[in-house]
Structure 1
């Protein structure tokens, strides 16, 4: 159903118009009884939307695509991708729709996108639906990432559909409304390349440059500059993940956004005890996307992007390959620089501190954290207390306290500052046991625990009295943790 003429919300359909080969016009399935579960009012205001209007029945229907605003051309996006290393020439939005683009209050073009809005031509054997728990998980974790300053898609709303959805049991259905710089993926370029349409590939790259990296258009080699910019954005993003102990869980090429935003929070989790081999996804049985593998997988995915871009880099295949290899060679250095800069901040050290001193110091610390299975987030937050004082409270966390004290002596000699440490090390992250507690309650109809957790995570760096349970690791009886994508 199309919106009435008086609606003040207007969309653009740039992707649908400019890249019609990658867009299938489609409509969201009608929800039998849509009920707004959560609305991100600050994000709504950022988008120039009136939260009060979005809370009306018409606004709720708009949020799930059952009321289509002027200018919107809902489409399912086509893309290809490598999933756990295996290539699929066509994937696409099987249960998602791009409503269109909207210009926010700062003049930035933002996608408004639905997840769980019903089957599309790309759904294959899936039902195209989503359930309350996983959609609230994406809302919770993506907004937490945003509060920590990590580039991410955002969550505008979760709406219950009033439809029961079959998973292991019957569960309440929901649609997530999310916002992003765009939903262009490495897999979008793979789709254009596999179809052998160089002109489509060029238009896709030009669209991405215009959306995200306009400076590349003025470079001597615009598509090389574009590729370099994506490499830099991904190097920085994955460094952010590693620094806060985030495990994405499903780093397929269709889940790597060209914008450098974190996208698709399916089987993600934050580490409690530090473990480089941490895997939470129930389907990642080989550990391909383990915590420590994330930088290498990002580089692997970027290599797939390079393969897709070759016809744009140079008309001579050998020269195109050489240019791609040269660009890819920068990834490890850019990642290491971003990670080390972040680690200096976590350790309270000046940016000018010598890299060849800080890097081995940090790696030695991480090895001790892994050996002692020390809680990663709590440790770094509590380390600030040792910046100018005693290390006793912190050293008790380790298997070999004397070894940590010897490390701390070398660290303190570098004059760490506690104040910047507290700005770099969050007190509150989406602790897995608290996330599961909130999602279970919400699935049963009680949104109280979820809303409280959202409020705590909105200010992750400020320690507040009375919130101690949100800052600690899981109780021992929580057991090993597994996550599921919700399809």
Structure 2
């Protein structure tokens, strides 16, 4: 029986980049969630629904060789050697549209990269990744996807004894900035091999270009500038923007201590481990540039044989990030207030709005929604700004229609996510399923009010890196 259309190429690279290894055999595999719509979209056999043991890794499909990848990374600014400590890639699935996706199990057992970890995952964090990644997809933000969660029949020891689970993650690839940081510390030949593979897989239009490695840097910079602008425009805080959590494909990956802002505050931090606020909302663009600078450093030997010339070319490429990010961000924020093609002058209006929202602790998502309504009396702190704004959008033909297209009615509100996770851990999946249904249509207005309301202001929300 054929469940996937595998054509795996990553394992054609030198063996320093991966290790073949079998996932753990779990006592009892059972589906918690199966993303039928995604399976249909990617032409993955729905008969997989009858075989949860495949998506815990307990049964290996004939003819496949699961593997884990090697990479390094700067974690909170400090370099360390890493790798897939509890992940196994089953293979690369090819869709009828000739798109290539890694099918990866998360929580599927120890690998040689596990260090002191047990290689396992627990139900709550896997459900969080499933919920948030699906929300991001439906908000039109590039992201890895979640195909399934299976329980394993094992108890996993953390602070408490918790239910074991495996997430099946779908990604355009798992090549990270950290993969290049690993490669550059091996040999020039390996670095070139990885860069050529990355270009072939993600940017085939560069194959025959002059200085394709510099153009690779340009492409990744542009993809990340756009991605971070999308995060900022929607109020998403990743929480752990280490270089091993930045993909060259431009997908959001590794949903650990992430969350969406309720009340607009630029220095919002949710992660319990980010005590210095390194990855706060306001810092995300600067951290992205910092990570991209680490990426550029790895490419220097490929960009030019003369190190100083390579540095000059890389620095020129990195200088484009700020302009690209600001252009993407200005466009997205302008459209949130009904301006199709905002000018730099319009950014003054946008900045004034954001300043007032922060000053008056206003809900980020709901403020933009209320601006779409004829009745804006609930936005009294913005009254003089609204006059200026209404005067500006007079010349826009379809301002309100544009706003309705880009401003979500619902996001995965933190208190709603926590309620859903708590119910699921206690055996009731109905709240999770209801939430998944709601976030699959974030721009529809007919959702229950409870999904639209922010959590209480007096209870600071904190997230943990359980994924």
* Bin for the TM-score computed over the shorter chain: over 0.9
Indicate conservation of the 8 Å contact 1:13/1:71, yes or no.
Answer: no
- Offset, 1:218: 2.4
**What is aligned with 2:100?**
109
Question: 1:393-420, CA deviations, whole angstroms, 9 ceiling, x for partnerless residues?
Answer: 3x23x3xx44444544554455471111
Please say if 1:475 is aligned against 2:456: yes
**What is aligned with 1:464?**
446
**What is aligned with 2:416?**
434
**What is aligned with 1:121?**
112
TM-score by length of 1: 0.93
Question: 1:135-156, CA deviations, whole angstroms, 9 ceiling, x for partnerless residues?
Answer: 0100000011000110000000
Which runs of structure 2 are paired with 1:380-391 in the superposition (5 Å)? Answer: 380-385=368-373, 389-391=374-376
**What is aligned with 1:3?**
none
Taking the aligned partners of 1:455 and 1:390, their CA distance within structure 2 comes to 29
Indicate conservation of the 8 Å contact 2:338/2:393, yes or no.
Answer: no
TM-score by length of 2: 0.97
Mark the runs of 5 or more structure 2 residues left unpaired by the alignment: none
**What is aligned with 1:199?**
189
Taking the aligned partners of 2:390 and 2:334, their CA distance within structure 1 comes to 16
Which runs of structure 2 are paired with 1:22-421 in the superposition (5 Å)? Answer: 22-51=17-46, 53-56=47-50, 59-88=51-80, 90-195=81-186, 197-351=187-341, 353=342, 355-385=343-373, 389-393=374-378, 395-396=379-380, 398=381, 401-415=382-396, 417-421=399-403
- Offset, 1:69: 2.1
Indicate conservation of the 8 Å contact 1:427/1:461, yes or no.
Answer: yes
Instruction: Give the match's secondary structure for 1:55.
Output: helix
Instruction: Give the match's secondary structure for 1:335.
Output: helix
Taking the aligned partners of 1:188 and 1:149, their CA distance within structure 2 comes to 26
Identify the range of structure 1 (146-155 vs 59-68) with the bigger mean alpha-carbon deviation: 59-68
Instruction: Give the match's secondary structure for 1:320.
Output: helix
Task: Provide the alpha-carbon RMSD of the alignment.
Answer: 1.5
Taking the aligned partners of 2:222 and 2:307, their CA distance within structure 1 comes to 24
Taking the aligned partners of 1:336 and 1:49, their CA distance within structure 2 comes to 39
Indicate conservation of the 8 Å contact 1:94/1:128, yes or no.
Answer: yes
Distance 1:266 1:163, change over 3 A: same
Question: 1:329-381, CA deviations, whole angstroms, 9 ceiling, x for partnerless residues?
Answer: 10000000110111121111122x4x122111111111111111100001111
- Offset, 1:424: 0.3
Distance 1:373 1:476, change over 3 A: closer
Indicate conservation of the 8 Å contact 1:11/1:71, yes or no.
Answer: no
Indicate conservation of the 8 Å contact 2:5/2:95, yes or no.
Answer: no
Taking the aligned partners of 2:375 and 2:414, their CA distance within structure 1 comes to 31
Indicate conservation of the 8 Å contact 1:274/1:374, yes or no.
Answer: yes
Indicate conservation of the 8 Å contact 1:95/1:117, yes or no.
Answer: yes
Instruction: Give the match's secondary structure for 1:343.
Output: helix
Indicate conservation of the 8 Å contact 1:391/1:408, yes or no.
Answer: no
Instruction: Give the match's secondary structure for 2:167.
Output: strand
Taking the aligned partners of 2:109 and 2:144, their CA distance within structure 1 comes to 21
Mark the runs of 5 or more structure 1 residues left unpaired by the alignment: 1-5
Instruction: Give the match's secondary structure for 1:36.
Output: strand
Aligned residues: 466
Indicate conservation of the 8 Å contact 1:238/1:335, yes or no.
Answer: yes
Taking the aligned partners of 1:402 and 1:155, their CA distance within structure 2 comes to 43
Question: 1:293-352, CA deviations, whole angstroms, 9 ceiling, x for partnerless residues?
Answer: 00000000000001111110011111111110011010000000110111121111122x
- Offset, 1:475: 3.5
Instruction: Give the match's secondary structure for 1:373.
Output: coil
